[in-house]
Amino acid sequence: MQIAVLTLDGFNELDSFIAASILNRMRSKGWKAHITSPTEQVTSMNGVTV
């Protein structure tokens, strides 16, 4: 299963990175989470650019 964690400008790092990390713990069951965005880059509320 492919999972997209949609991330927008002004995102909270905890919401996106931790969600993807927790979901990726299920890789042995075929799950794979990716952080995605509608643009090439997004910047978090604390200045982290992905």
45: Cβ contacts below 8 Å, ≥ 6 apart: 10, 11, 12
Q: Give the phi and the psi of residue 20 in degrees, each rounded to 5.
A: -65, -40
pLDDT tens track for 32-47 = 999 999 999 999 999 9
pLDDT confidence band for 29 (50 / 70 / 90): very high
**Confidence at residue 39, expressed as pLDDT on a 0 to 100 scale:** 96
29: Cβ contacts below 8 Å, ≥ 6 apart: none
pLDDT tens track for 12-23 = 999 999 999 999
**CA atoms of 50 and 33, how far apart (whole Å):** 15
